[in-house]
Amino acid sequence: MGKQPIADQVAILVIFPRAGIPASTFATLAHFARHGIACVVVSNAPLREEDRARLGDVTHLVIERPNLGYDFGGFREGILTLFERGVRPHMLFLMNDSLWFPLRTDCDALARCRQAPEDVFGFLLNGVPRFGVSRDYVQSYFLRFSPRLLASEEFLTFWRDMPLIDNKHLVVRRLERGLSRHFARRGYTLGALVDWRTVIDRLMALDDPDKLARIFAYQCQLNPKDAARLQPLIDKGWSPLRIRDALAGPIRRKRLFASFPLMHPEFVLELGLPALKRKLPIQYRELVRLGLDKDFEPAVRAEMRL
């Protein structure tokens, strides 16, 4: 047990601290606490004694477990432990430590997540459009469940019956996408701060050629498959607007720019994503180069500049 009292809103943060816990993770926990949200940390790796003690000071509960089932195994462990202890939150947040969040101390993302009416809500609603049909799902690095869903037996049944899959690809396919679709089939609603359709619409409406040129040049460094389509047109001297319009079909079908959180940081931040993925040096090197980190949370800014 930690020193933080339980609350009617709870966040479960799953971490994998192979080299200790970074300062930004404690900033995340402090951010939840400032908003009255009790924190449960599930570590999928053994904790150092000093980290265990420090976590205990700022959380309600710390759980250590093997990395079986990856993040979803950790989410499951945290949820079932709470329910077994008689804690049934009014609202529940799930997050993993693949994110820097919040980016800014005045971030209002938690308030917006609380106010959203959807049952499964997050930072990004993604989709895999095939044959004109999109099967939407909320990306699982950050999820918020509504009081309606938490009060249902269907919520607990999902986690009790969830298999512990020891394969990352299958976890994404069967659990990240499967969770959203499981509850959507049962009449629960999905939503997010950013919708993948908005991402594509904004990219297709962008009329600043310099910004488009930066986005294309960055994408060519990030993704070899995208570079195979973009670079030949750049080499021909086509204007950024002409390139974008020529590739409108693949862009709208998500054959290009398929992963919005990994895109050019200027574009990602302008669309309102309140977090960035860790371990993506190309992204935060560009972010720092453009000075876009000047008002970031100090711990996040320091880690980006290491």
Mean pLDDT of 194-208: 96
- Quick one: average pLDDT of 96-105? 95
Tokens of 20: 């200790």
Q: What is the pLDDT of residues 9-25, one digit of tens each?
A: 999 999 999 889 999 99
Which long-range contacts (C-beta less than 8 Å, at least 24 apart) are formed by 258-263?
A: 260/124, 260/126, 260/194, 260/196, 260/199, 261/124, 261/139, 262/222, 262/223, 263/215, 263/218, 263/219, 263/222
Please state the rounded mean pLDDT for residues 94-106.
96
Note the pLDDT of residue 132: 56
Alpha-carbon separation of residue 222 from 58, 281, 282, 289 (angstroms): 37, 10, 7, 16
And the tokens for 260?
């919005």
Higher pLDDT: 2 or 141? It is: 141
In this predicted structure, what is the pLDDT of residue 221? 96
State the pLDDT confidence band at 165, using cuts at 50, 70 and 90: confident
Query: Which domains does the chain show, CATH number per domain?
Result: 9-194 (3.90.550.60), 197-304 (no CATH)
pTM of the predicted model as reported, rounded to 2 decimal places: 0.95
The answer to whether residue 94 scores a pLDDT higher than 80 is yes
Confidence band of 133 (pLDDT split at 50, 70, 90)? low
pLDDT at position 54 over 90: yes
* 261, 277 contact by CB (below 8 A): yes
What pLDDT score does 223 carry?
A: 96
- Is the pLDDT at 144 greater than 80? The verdict is yes
pLDDT tens digits, 232-259: 999 999 999 999 999 999 999 889 999 9
| Band of pLDDT at residue 230, cut at 50, 70 and 90 | very high
| Amino acid, single-letter form, for residue 137 | Y
**What is the per-residue pLDDT for 130?**
66
pLDDT average, residue stretch 113-122: 98
Mean pLDDT taken over the chain? 94
Mean predicted confidence (pLDDT) in 162-169: 83
Furthest-apart CA atoms within the chain: distance in Å: 65
pLDDT for the residue numbered 131:
60
167 pLDDT exceeds 90?
no
Residue 1's pLDDT band (boundaries 50, 70, 90)? confident
Q: Compute the distance between CA of residue 262 and CA of residue 281 in angstroms, rounded to an integer.
A: 11
- Whether the per-residue pLDDT at 305 is higher than 80: the answer is yes
Residues 177, 137 contacting (CB under 8 angstroms): yes
